Amino acid sequence: MGYLWSLGVVAEVIIFALSNKLFRRCSARDMLLISAICGVVRWGIMGATTALPWLIVVQILHCGTFTVCHLAAMRYIAARQGSEVIRLQAVYSAVAMGGSIAIMTVFAGFLYQYLGHGVFWVMALVALPAMFLRPKVVPSC
Q: Write out pLDDT tens, residues 39-97.
A: 999 999 999 999 999 999 999 999 999 999 999 999 999 888 888 888 888 888 887 77
Which CATH number belongs to the domain containing residue 118 in this structure? 1.20.1250.20
Q: Is residue 141 part of a domain?
A: no
Q: Write out pLDDT tens, residues 102-112.
A: 888 888 888 98
Asked whether residue 138 carries a pLDDT value surpassing 90, the answer given is no
Predicted TM-score (pTM) of this structure = 0.83
Asked whether residue 139 carries a pLDDT value surpassing 70, the answer given is no
Sign of CA dihedral 106, 73, 76, 25: negative
Provide the residue range defining the domain that includes 47.
2-131
Neighbouring C-beta atoms of residue 71, cutoff 10 Å: 22
Look at the chain and report how many structural domains it folds into: 1
CB 22 within 8 A of CB 124: no
Mean pLDDT over each residue of the chain, to the nearest integer: 88
Q: Is residue 137 part of a domain?
A: no
Q: Is residue 136 part of a domain?
A: no
Quote the pLDDT of residue 58. Answer: 95
